[in-house]
Chains A and B, each alone.
Chain A
């Protein structure tokens, strides 16, 4: 790890002012940043510690029916918050499907959005990587690519976004609240992460010095509570990043789907919302045929970036399965193995 300067911010304005220094980084849970710094992948000259800022660790249920999650709310506190988990069950399930209990106790809401890809070529400083060093090339292309992207990738970068948490958040129209020199602004999560194109080193729409202060879910997000699931295929049953993951949720009325939300993880450089598949399901009868068609639409345009063509069919099947389980009903409690396709029980409805 390189030496760095350390500064403990006393207010949001103070943090933003200090982080204006080139290449400064905010320190929150540190679970990804310290790992990156130990590996020499990130070399910030200044860490601005935001862990003591007042008011960033609150979960507030809003008068308009939405919820505001402070940037410093720890993953475990959010996942186990009774009202939050009951209202946004697929968010809780995704949180509990990520990392380990120790990491979830430290990792924060904003930190999850800001985490970097786990592409092994990005992590290996001996490999060329356009994210680490713009213009250096990408040694992942033509390399070991089993876990790389099948959607949204470019000839300059084929890395995936590793988050579980962001997948249901993007499906539920999450909004990111950002503080900067010029005041506050908001960005929909769907527009927060950038596709690589020719500039894979630009990963988010944050401007230098800007700090995420909260993630908000609109009132509509709560309407999916009774039919919502997150499923994750991984190489180990627990404590592994997604090969492919899917968030699926439905509003059912009579014999028809009134509204659907679908997003995918592990397949693209950003949490991937499947709008076309959602539109296709509106007005349909819930069932295998409709779900398979929607799943096909969700993967429309997918192409392998290497030895990962299997992920396309795997993702289609996972989307169809997540939709089926969502239709059967949200379990009373997150399964013992969160988001696992090997879970024993499912579909015990607790909402009407």
Chain B
């Protein structure tokens, strides 16, 4: 079973020996992209959030076979080497993490939220829109502030 994906602008063809492989497992175990985290592996924590064909999803609940041909963006592809994406910089500025395990998922989810263009710069809509990403360290206040800062810098027209 051969599948092909464009991950962070690079084309990858992978031969799957097992139909059970999720996109999360494919990224981590086959492509060595371990920035995407396996938290609950059941769609409850959001640590595995990626951008799949332009939309944020839980990669642990996406079967690789079903998404053959898809375009994927992970935390590794967010900014060129040595540079920070505005969300990465804002997370640092606002202390939006402690242990950091949920952070790639939080940032990819925020990338999706900004792209969806539904939150404006409303803190309540940001909290609601980010509720699929759990943070056991409880850095939610910093996460909300970081996402809001980036939302306020981006012209509304470019969000959607």
Secondary structure class of chain B's binding surface, majority of residues: mixed
| Residue B66 CB within 8 A of the other chain | yes
Whether A105 contacts B63 in the complex (CB less than 8 A), given A99-B132, A100-B131, comes out as no
In angstroms, how far is the closest chain A Cβ from the Cβ of B85?
Answer: 19
Q: Among B65, B109, B127, which residue has its beta carbon within 8 angstroms of that of A102? A: B109
How many residues on chain A are close to B (CB under 8 Å)? 32
Q: Among A35, A80, A106, A337, which residue has its beta carbon within 8 angstroms of that of B57? A: A106
B129: chain A residues at CB < 8 Å are 101
Which residue, B42, B66, B130, has most C-beta atoms of chain A within 10 A?
B66
Contact A34 B61 (CB under 8 A): yes
Contact A5 B19 (CB under 8 A): yes
| Residue B74 CB within 8 A of the other chain | no
> Chain A: which residue is nearest B41 at the CB level?
A38
Contact A35 B132 (CB under 8 A): no
Which residue, A3, A34, A102, A237, has most C-beta atoms of chain B within 10 A?
A102
Binds A, one of B5-13, B112-120, B144-152: B112-120
B113: chain A residues at CB < 8 Å are 101
| Residue A336 CB within 8 A of the other chain | yes
Contact A49 B66 (CB under 8 A): yes
| Residue B37 CB within 8 A of the other chain | no
| Residue A172 CB within 8 A of the other chain | no
B60: chain A residues at CB < 8 Å are 34
Whether A100 contacts B132 in the complex (CB less than 8 A), given A6-B19, A336-B124, comes out as yes
- How many chain B residues sit at the interface, stated as a range, is 35 or more
Whether A1 contacts B128 in the complex (CB less than 8 A), given A80-B118, A105-B55, A106-B61, comes out as no
Q: Among B19, B58, B116, B130, which residue has its beta carbon within 8 angstroms of that of A103? A: B58
Q: Tell me, in angstroms, the Cα distance from A76 to B19 when the chains sit together.
A: 28
> Chain B: which residue is nearest A80 at the CB level?
B118
> Chain A: which residue is nearest B118 at the CB level?
A80
A337: chain B residues at CB < 8 Å are 124, 128
In angstroms, how far is the closest chain A Cβ from the Cβ of B115?
Answer: 11
Instruction: Fill in one digit per residue for A92-125: 1 if any B CB lies within 8 Å of its CB, else 0.
Output: 0000000111110110000000000000000000
In angstroms, how far is the closest chain A Cβ from the Cβ of B33?
Answer: 18
In angstroms, how far is the closest chain B Cβ from the Cβ of A122?
Answer: 15
A3-B19, A47-B63, A102-B112 provided; 19 other pairs, C-beta below 8 A? A6-B1, A6-B66, A30-B63, A31-B58, A34-B63, A38-B42, A80-B118, A100-B46, A101-B109, A101-B113, A101-B131, A102-B46, A102-B56, A105-B56, A105-B57, A106-B57, A106-B62, A237-B131, A336-B124
- Give the interface of A toward B (CB within 8 A): 1, 3-6, 8, 27, 30-31, 34-35, 38-39, 47, 49, 51, 76, 80, 99-103, 105-106, 236-239, 336-338
Give 5 nearest A-B pairs by CB, closest first. Answer: A100-B132, A238-B131, A336-B124, A239-B131, A105-B55
